[in-house]
Chains A and B, each alone.
Chain A
Amino acid sequence: MQEVNEKLAIKHGLTKEEFQRIIKLMGRNPNLVELGIFSAMWNEHCSYKSSRVWLQTLPTKNKYVIQGPGENAGVVDCGDGDVAIFKIESHNHPSYIEPYQGAATGVGGILRDVFTMGARPIANLNSIRFGSPNHEKTKHLLNGVVSGIGGYGNCIGVPTVGGETEFDECYNGNILVNAMNIGIAKKNKVFYSIASGIGNPVVYVGSKTGRDGIHGATMASAEFDEDSESKKPTVQVGDPFTEKLLLEACLELMQKNSIVSIQDMGAAGLTSSSIEMASKGNLGIKINLNLIPCRENNMTPYEIMLSESQERMLMILKKGKENEAKKIFEKWGLDFAIIGELTNSKKLELFFDEENVCSIPIQALGDNAPKYKRPYVNHTYPKNINFDKKLSKLNIKDCLTKILSHHNYSNKSWVWQQYDHMVMADTIQKPGGDSAVVRYHGKDKAIAATVDCVPRYCKAHPYNGAMQAVCETWRNLISVGAKPIAITNCLNFGNPEKKEIMGQLVDSIKGIKDACTYLDYPVVSGNVSLYNETNGVAIYPTPTIGGVGILNKINQMMSFNLKQNDSLIVVIGKTTGHISQSALMYDILKDKKGPPPKIDLKEEKKNGLFVADLIKNKLALSVHDIAHGGIIVSLAEMCMASEIGAKIQTNVQNIDKIKFLFGEDQARYLIEVKNENFNKIKKLAKTKKIHLEIFANTQKNYFEVENNFKIPIKELIKMNHNWFKQYNKN
């Protein structure tokens, strides 16, 4: 066996200090297998060593939460004995190197996290971010990632119902692929990963183990450079067909009373799954590696333990239930192998050819893993900038058409029509709306979900940006008539060893914490992806938030497409005309200076609850949250979704008009209401101290700003649908 020394440890991504720590914990030099296991468990991706101290500060409980962070996914109560189980996870590094497989296995991994817990997955969502469309790799990456997400989700038969797709040059060297999944289960049939029962069999099911993905998690814990392409062999290969079989077999077995605990083999494969289960149960685990089903010949213990081959699960069964379980997996044509047992040694003990090849105290790997409180700098709120001179030259129609034709704000149906978003026949609100809504099969209730983040806000001020991301998901759930319940987060950042980046992470977590606490909207699961840097250039801080809400009655569902002519469009929330970091300034005028819009949590909650009340009392015909591009773009979106026109009336003049129409003040909604209901709504708003103003009325066929311009809706639709088609023409 290869000699294990400091040099080899560094090659495994460990530091000198960490290697010394291993020797101290072991009381001896580790062998190669043991070193590999330490490196897999102690890398950033698995150990959260840079983020853990901060993640612990997040709120994780409200009256709905059954299981917060620490399990495969979070669990929330949906009433009537039903629960929803969900999580978001990154697959950034592999997707840049091999976009199709990277994205596909990202979807596969998050699906396993959810069905491991006994849930049937009912919805996939994602957030994907690419570099500038002009960058030489972008088209290839976009096409590969979208096909990969579709290829996996479509085949396994779980609808991909929502997400976001954006471009910014800050992702030229590191794209982001964040995949989220939601499943449903019965409250009394949720499965956890805590092992128990000395002598209980350890069972391996699913695909065979191959040499793919070895050190994948370690790769995902380092920066990229010119040689990143050479890391292709560390990207796993997905097989959604096998995952479909694994899903059905696991759910079938879960109907019986045979599983003690179960854990999917995700990052760091067999290593992390076996250690996590034993560690949570405070037990030892003994595995005979000769019994692992292998795809290739002559695999070494080192390779078997570090492989990240997909579609595999590790289970602890009740003793005596082995045959019952085996029958089910054989029916589905999957491997089933009893590979070891639980022990009281509190050690991970591995045997190969009857030789003990690894003996590590489990505590050393988990509880004694390094935890860093890295130095950081806080980011101050940028100074306001006067853009009046720039704005004075602008024409409203020109700004609107430029935004609607821009890659970041154009219609994304080119993306989501490659995803089967209707399979399972319960998608009652399709992609393109504020949130996706999926019906509980056979019941009169539904789950709503959305994924959001505005990285340009986060870059300008991480604390406010992260709060905004949380609030935007909250708003998007409110807008479809759902009650927001909880979030999952995916924190994508650069190298945390740099003070500035660490500061972005710390400030973002603080922002999430404050927003979630105020809105009683806790974090139940998540993932951290650091080292998203290439040659020292980091991505913008991107704390992607996945929000989940519940509709107790399906007829409470609201949508954003206009419903009729001659109704009023009302703005809820105050418009001050905050223009810096807006879509207009950032993406059209390319001026990236100044602060993002400020978040006022009090306003946020007050306005949101008011809109929720209007929906409940059937006073709103349609609802849309105001986001990118301000009220004018949000209204145009409502028109395009329905082919009903609108006429904007405003007394605001000159430069202030541009700011009024395109500014991105937060906590606002556009509501379509019947004329005859307006006074009633106005009164309600007054009693609740809600700022409300009439902004437009609906009309046939034309989008119009009074005394300014008029354009057929059909033309708006055409320009809004054009970009993706043109870009991907050849």
Chain B
Amino acid sequence: MKASIIVFPGSNCDRDVKVALEQAKIKTTMTWHNDATLPKTDLVVLPGGFSYGDYLRCGSIASKSRIMKEVIKHSKQGRLVMGICNGFQILVESELLPGVLIRNINLKFICKTINVKILNNKTYFTKETIKNNVLKLPIAHNEGNYFASKDLINKLEDNEQIVIKYCDENGNINLESNPNGSLNNIAGIVNKSKNVFGLMPHPERASDIMLEGTDGSLIFNSLTNYARS
């Protein structure tokens, strides 16, 4: 299994995700945003951070960068793409995922560990998880409030494209456990063909017993054997 981590100017979780991927025995290469080609890779990771300073709109300038043309091609071939936090924002800006991410409802940056419930454990990204289980994962964002039309939200629900939702520690999905105002408590979704995954929480920050636990490593471990499967 090989992963390519895209480094945009302003990315700042690139190293963190590299450590977590390698822990899951996934080989990584760092790819500069201005490169014309992707190295041979199974998975592309768009890391968290503030690509291009979040100027214009989060993820907007990054979605137009040179390497993204290749990333889009890679995804159209059915291969895997995962966007974490700012990476998720880039995926919606480049329309690899539907919907938008707007400012948190309290208009503040929020960094804390929250709970998410696994709704779909049949994706490449979650097959090591158990449906309806609760994972503890950190969030750290200013614009993680998922928004879309009612129609689209219904479609996402029907197609099982909503992979994780914010919940309380007992798995109840409610207003109190929604940190940022996301519609239907959406924390992470996949595209229709389920090879592109975007999520606001940072699994790479919960892949170490010394940090916020190891629930996040379930996601990376899910990907470990992808190439063989």
Question: A422 touching B210 by the CB < 8 A rule?
Answer: no
A424 to B20, CA, bound (A): 12
A242 to B48, CA, bound (A): 17
Q: Does A112 contact B (CB under 8 A)?
A: no
Residues of A close to B108: CB separation below 8 A: 147, 418
Question: A423 touching B50 by the CB < 8 A rule?
Answer: no
User: Given that A155-B53, A157-B49, A439-B210 are known contacts, is A420 also in contact with B16, CB under 8 Å in the complex?
Assistant: no
Residues of A close to B50: CB separation below 8 A: 154-155, 157, 240-241, 244
Q: Does A474 contact B (CB under 8 A)?
A: no
Residues of B close to A241: CB separation below 8 A: 9-10, 50, 52-55
Type the 1/0 row for B6-41, where 1 means its CB is closer than 8 Å to any CB of A.
Answer: 000110110110011000000000000000000000
Q: Does A427 contact B (CB under 8 A)?
A: yes
Question: A418 touching B110 by the CB < 8 A rule?
Answer: yes
Shortest distance from the beta carbon of A243 to any chain B beta carbon, whole Å: 10
Q: Does B227 contact A (CB under 8 A)?
A: no
Question: A422 touching B9 by the CB < 8 A rule?
Answer: no
Contacting B111 at CB < 8 Å: which of A421, A424, A425?
Answer: A421
Residues of A close to B55: CB separation below 8 A: 241
Question: A240 touching B53 by the CB < 8 A rule?
Answer: yes
Q: Does B169 contact A (CB under 8 A)?
A: no
Residues of B close to A244: CB separation below 8 A: 9-10, 12, 50, 53
Question: A428 touching B210 by the CB < 8 A rule?
Answer: yes
Contacting B208 at CB < 8 Å: which of A147, A242, A418, A425?
Answer: A425
> For window 151-208 of chain A, which residues contact chain B by CB distance below 8 Å?
151, 154-157
> For window 193-245 of chain A, which residues contact chain B by CB distance below 8 Å?
239-242, 244-245
A425 to B9, CA, bound (A): 19
Contacting B15 at CB < 8 Å: which of A147, A150, A418, A424?
Answer: A424
Type the 1/0 row for A19-61, where 1 means its CB is closer than 8 Å to any CB of B.
Answer: 0000000000000000000000000000000000000000000
Question: A422 touching B15 by the CB < 8 A rule?
Answer: no
User: Given that A244-B50, A554-B210 are known contacts, is A425 also in contact with B12, CB under 8 Å in the complex?
Assistant: no
A421 to B139, CA, bound (A): 11
* Interface-centre pick from A242, A245, A418 (highest chain B CB count, 10 A): A418
Residues of B close to A422: CB separation below 8 A: 111, 138, 140, 202, 205, 211-212
Question: A155 touching B54 by the CB < 8 A rule?
Answer: yes
User: Given that A155-B53, A418-B110 are known contacts, is A428 also in contact with B10, CB under 8 Å in the complex?
Assistant: no
A417 to B106, CA, bound (A): 12
Contacting B16 at CB < 8 Å: which of A332, A419, A425, A554?
Answer: A425
Shortest distance from the beta carbon of B102 to any chain A beta carbon, whole Å: 18
A417 to B48, CA, bound (A): 17
Residues of B close to A424: CB separation below 8 A: 12, 15-16
Shortest distance from the beta carbon of A409 to any chain B beta carbon, whole Å: 21
User: Given that A157-B12, A157-B13 are known contacts, is A425 also in contact with B53, CB under 8 Å in the complex?
Assistant: no
Question: B112 touching A417 by the CB < 8 A rule?
Answer: yes
Q: Does B93 contact A (CB under 8 A)?
A: no
Contacting A154 at CB < 8 Å: which of B15, B140, B205, B212?
Answer: B140
Number of A-B contacts (CB under 8 A): 83
Residues of A close to B111: CB separation below 8 A: 154, 416-422
A242 to B208, CA, bound (A): 31
A419 to B138, CA, bound (A): 13
Shortest distance from the beta carbon of A434 to any chain B beta carbon, whole Å: 18
Chain B residue at minimal CB-CB distance from A419? B111
Question: B16 touching A423 by the CB < 8 A rule?
Answer: yes
Q: How large is the interface on B (under 10, 10 to 19, 20 to 34, 35 or more residues)?
A: 20 to 34
Chain B residue at minimal CB-CB distance from A416? B111
A contact residues, total (Cβ < 8 Å): 30
Chain A residue at minimal CB-CB distance from B112? A417
A174 to B204, CA, bound (A): 41
Q: Does A333 contact B (CB under 8 A)?
A: yes
Residues of A close to B53: CB separation below 8 A: 155, 239-242, 244
* Interface-centre pick from A239, A332, A420, A439 (highest chain B CB count, 10 A): A420
Type the 1/0 row for B58-98, where 1 means its CB is closer than 8 Å to any CB of A.
Answer: 00000000000000000000000000000000000000000
* Interface-centre pick from B15, B140, B208, B212 (highest chain A CB count, 10 A): B140
Residues of A close to B138: CB separation below 8 A: 422
Question: B112 touching A155 by the CB < 8 A rule?
Answer: no
Shortest distance from the beta carbon of B126 to any chain A beta carbon, whole Å: 21
Residues of A close to B112: CB separation below 8 A: 413, 417
Residues of B close to A425: CB separation below 8 A: 13, 15-16, 19-20, 204-205, 208, 211
* Interface-centre pick from B16, B55, B109 (highest chain A CB count, 10 A): B109
Residues of A close to B19: CB separation below 8 A: 425
Question: A333 touching B109 by the CB < 8 A rule?
Answer: no
User: Given that A241-B10, A244-B9 are known contacts, is A420 also in contact with B210, CB under 8 Å in the complex?
Assistant: no
A439 to B16, CA, bound (A): 13
A332 to B7, CA, bound (A): 12
Residues of B close to A242: CB separation below 8 A: 53
Shortest distance from the beta carbon of B14 to any chain A beta carbon, whole Å: 9
A332 to B132, CA, bound (A): 44
Question: A150 touching B109 by the CB < 8 A rule?
Answer: yes
User: Given that A241-B55, A425-B19 are known contacts, is A156 also in contact with B204, CB under 8 Å in the complex?
Assistant: no
Contacting A423 at CB < 8 Å: which of B12, B142, B210?
Answer: B12
Contacting B109 at CB < 8 Å: which of A240, A413, A420?
Answer: A420
Residues of A close to B12: CB separation below 8 A: 155-157, 244, 423-424
Residues of A close to B202: CB separation below 8 A: 422
Residues of A close to B140: CB separation below 8 A: 154, 420, 422-423
A422 to B138, CA, bound (A): 8
Shortest distance from the beta carbon of A396 to any chain B beta carbon, whole Å: 33
> For window 330-354 of chain A, which residues contact chain B by CB distance below 8 Å?
332-333
Shortest distance from the beta carbon of B89 to any chain A beta carbon, whole Å: 14
> For window 551-570 of chain A, which residues contact chain B by CB distance below 8 Å?
554
A410 to B12, CA, bound (A): 32
Residues of B close to A419: CB separation below 8 A: 109, 111
User: Given that A244-B10, A332-B9, A423-B12 are known contacts, is A154 also in contact with B210, CB under 8 Å in the complex?
Assistant: no
Question: B109 touching A154 by the CB < 8 A rule?
Answer: yes
Chain A residue at minimal CB-CB distance from B208? A425
Shortest distance from the beta carbon of B188 to any chain A beta carbon, whole Å: 18
Type the 1/0 row for A119-144, where 1 means its CB is closer than 8 Å to any CB of B.
Answer: 00000000000000000000000000
Residues of A close to B16: CB separation below 8 A: 423-425
Shortest distance from the beta carbon of A151 to any chain B beta carbon, whole Å: 8
A345 to B111, CA, bound (A): 53
Residues of B close to A413: CB separation below 8 A: 112
Residues of A close to B48: CB separation below 8 A: 423
A423 to B112, CA, bound (A): 11
Shortest distance from the beta carbon of A333 to any chain B beta carbon, whole Å: 7
A417 to B108, CA, bound (A): 9
A428 to B208, CA, bound (A): 10
* Interface-centre pick from A332, A422, A424 (highest chain B CB count, 10 A): A422
Residues of A close to B208: CB separation below 8 A: 425
User: Given that A244-B9, A423-B140, A425-B16 are known contacts, is A417 also in contact with B54, CB under 8 Å in the complex?
Assistant: no
> For window 206-229 of chain B, which residues contact chain A by CB distance below 8 Å?
208, 210-212
Further 11 A-B residue pairs, CB within 8 A, beyond A416-B111, A417-B110, A421-B111 = A154-B111, A157-B13, A241-B50, A241-B53, A419-B109, A423-B13, A424-B16, A425-B20, A425-B204, A425-B208, A428-B210
17 contacts between A and B (CB under 8 A): A150-B109, A151-B109, A157-B49, A241-B9, A241-B10, A244-B53, A416-B111, A417-B112, A418-B111, A419-B111, A422-B205, A422-B212, A425-B16, A425-B19, A425-B208, A425-B211, A428-B211
- B residues contacting A by CB (< 8 A) are 9-10, 12-13, 15-16, 19-20, 48-50, 52-55, 108-112, 138, 140, 142, 202, 204-205, 208, 210-212
4 A-B pairs closest in CB distance:
A157-B12, A241-B53, A425-B16, A155-B50
